[in-house]
């Protein structure tokens, strides 16, 4: 989808239809049935919408009860064995020191630009992975030279994975890592999350905990402002499942890139969208003989079937039968467990930008709040007069703050801009040529101090 078209659709959803979307989200959340205790009262599901409970009902097409919108890999964590190049390690050490510098103009230089990505270099890491590079696509944790520790441990963002296939994402990631060090093995999967977005008129609160037949633990239901939002099973273990209202989550997080993908599958604004996710950690993948990414991607069907038929099932409890494995499968679960991962999971956005941008809505909201507070403090009710006086006093404030650093108001503000640009991955604050010159200048200073017998070299 062209970026212009997608942006138009997103703006249309966010602005022109915001009130409508809000009302429909609330309406969807309000559709909590009074039949929440049906299963607890003996498993009598008469009157519920959908197919009659059966273990043999075919679940191979969309209908009024269930509509599959898309499915795919939502989160992916990869590790790579290898050895980082010495010059890269040296540069990362210096960039991390810049990120820790007390002056913001130096902090803004803590960037590593590579393969079209402007990575922020974090001021903190861990004992195992002391260096961290991050933008909107990847969070790359890098270790020092060690044969026992992977050279890199990488989290691929869900937004990025909705724009490219996992294989395409890994190939691009590998091209980045090969510029940082020598890789000695293929990508190993440390964690994999598979998800499916769907629409159903089923009441997701119409069953209780007993309906979940699982090898996992810690079954929990969630609500926000007394509105039911979903279930989790097995959180904290080597496998976990989440079933939650994705539309409500999107409305709070601003993840609008999924809306056009849902629309392409026939989603309408009055439909509440749910997501089911299965999380597989390295331990469970290894139990199935799946270690490297190619093998994992070739066995998504098997992983989904294992998760939805052996590890977890949603059933219709039969309290007269103490053998829970014989309880019939819930109609909703019949559809979800039958998803064929060898088929097309839906369109990709193909318009991803590896920046981490705040929403304009949030920025303008903060700005409007500041201006309103200023006008109220000074008793100003004229919009134009308020903006003019605010801008004038803001300039004076920046000038005063900048004077402590010997900067003009303009220069002080630009320093703030460069610092935010580092966090948002939008502006390259130090070009490679400038970095080379900066290193030469530092070397000259170090040499001068050393030649004078000083011990305060940088």
Residues 158-174 pLDDT 10s: 999 999 999 999 999 99
pLDDT of residue 33 exceeding 60: no
Split at pLDDT 50, 70, 90, the class of 255 is confident
**What number of other Cβ atoms are within 10 A of residue 145's Cβ?**
13
pLDDT at 7: 43
Split at pLDDT 50, 70, 90, the class of 441 is low
Split at pLDDT 50, 70, 90, the class of 145 is confident
CB contact at 8 A, 219 and 209: yes
Residues 117-132 pLDDT 10s: 999 999 999 999 999 9
pLDDT of residue 429 exceeding 80: yes
Question: Mean pLDDT, to the nearest integer, of 204-229?
Answer: 93
CB contact at 8 A, 196 and 292: no
Domains of the chain, residue spans: 3-72+192-337, 82-184, 360-427
**257 or 56, greater pLDDT:** 257
Residue 5 neighbours by CB under 8 Å, 6+ apart: none
Alpha carbon distance 346, 275 (integer Å): 15
- Tell the burial category of 413 from Cβ atoms under 10 Å away from its Cβ (0-12, 13-18, 19+): middle
Split at pLDDT 50, 70, 90, the class of 37 is very low
pLDDT of residue 107 exceeding 60: yes
Q: CA of 236: how far to CAs of 233, 239, 277, 279, 418, in Å?
A: 9, 8, 14, 10, 39
Q: CA of 57: how far to CAs of 161, 292, 333, in Å?
A: 33, 36, 11
pLDDT of residue 19 exceeding 90: no
pLDDT at 351: 84
Alpha carbon distance 454, 341 (integer Å): 66
Query: What value does the mean pLDDT of the chain take?
Result: 84
Write out the two tokens for 71. 């499915």
Q: What is the largest CA-CA distance in the chain?
A: 91
Split at pLDDT 50, 70, 90, the class of 398 is very high
Please give the share of the chain, as a percent, with pLDDT higher than 90: 69
Whether the predicted model's global pTM rises above the 0.85 cut: no
**443 or 255, greater pLDDT:** 255
- Tell the burial category of 396 from Cβ atoms under 10 Å away from its Cβ (0-12, 13-18, 19+): exposed
CB contact at 8 A, 378 and 31: no
């Amino acid at each position: 989808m062209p970026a212009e078209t997608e942006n138009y659709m997103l703006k249309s959803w966010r602005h022109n239809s915001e009130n409508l979307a809000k009302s429909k989200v609330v309406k969807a959340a309000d559709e909590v049935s009074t039949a929440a205790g049906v299963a607890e009262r003996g498993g009598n599901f008469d009157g519920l919408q959908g197919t009659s409970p059966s273990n043999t009902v075919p679940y191979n097409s969309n209908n009024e009860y269930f509509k599959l919108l898309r499915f795919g890999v939502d989160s992916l964590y990869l590790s790579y064995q290898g050895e980082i190049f010495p010059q890269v390690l040296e540069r990362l050490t210096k960039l991390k020191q810049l990120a820790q510098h007390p002056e913001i103009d130096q902090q803004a230089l803590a960037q590593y630009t590579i393969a079209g990505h402007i990575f922020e270099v974090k001021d903190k890491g861990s004992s195992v992975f002391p260096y961290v590079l991050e933008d909107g696509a990847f969070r790359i944790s890098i270790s020092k030279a060690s044969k026992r520790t992977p050279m890199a441990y990488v989290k691929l963002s869900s937004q990025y994975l909705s724009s490219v296939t996992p294989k395409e994402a890994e190939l691009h990631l590998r091209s980045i890592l090969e510029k940082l060090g020598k890789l000695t093995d293929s990508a190993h999967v440390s964690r994999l999350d598979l998800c499916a977005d769907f629409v159903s008129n089923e009441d997701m609160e119409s069953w209780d905990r007993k309906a979940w037949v699982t090898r996992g633990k810690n079954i929990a239901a969630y609500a926000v402002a007394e509105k039911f939002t979903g279930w989790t099973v097995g959180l904290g273990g080597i496998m976990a499942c989440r079933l939650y209202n994705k539309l409500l989550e999107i409305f709070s997080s601003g993840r609008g890139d999924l809306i056009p993908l849902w629309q392409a599958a026939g989603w309408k604004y009055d439909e509440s969208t749910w997501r089911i996710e299965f999380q597989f950690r390295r331990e469970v993948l290894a139990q199935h003989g799946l270690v490297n990414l190619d093998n994992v991607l070739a066995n998504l069907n098997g992983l989904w079937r294992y998760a939805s038929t052996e590890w977890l099932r949603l059933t219709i409890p039969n309290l007269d039968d103490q053998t829970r494995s014989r309880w019939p499968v819930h109609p909703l679960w019949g559809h979800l467990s039958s998803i064929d991962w060898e088929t097309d999971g839906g369109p990709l956005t193909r318009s991803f930008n590896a920046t981490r941008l705040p929403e304009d809505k949030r920025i303008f909201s903060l700005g409007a709040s500041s201006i309103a507070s200023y006008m109220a403090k000074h008793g100003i009710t004229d919009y134009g007069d308020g903006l003019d006086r605010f801008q004038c006093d803001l300039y004076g404030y920046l000038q005063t703050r900048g004077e402590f650093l010997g900067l003009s108001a303009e220069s002080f503000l630009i320093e703030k801009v460069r610092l935010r640009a580092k966090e948002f991955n939008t502006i390259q604050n130090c070009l490679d040529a400038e970095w080379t010159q900066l290193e030469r200048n530092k070397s000259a200073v170090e040499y001068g101090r050393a030649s004078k017998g000083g011990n305060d070299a940088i």
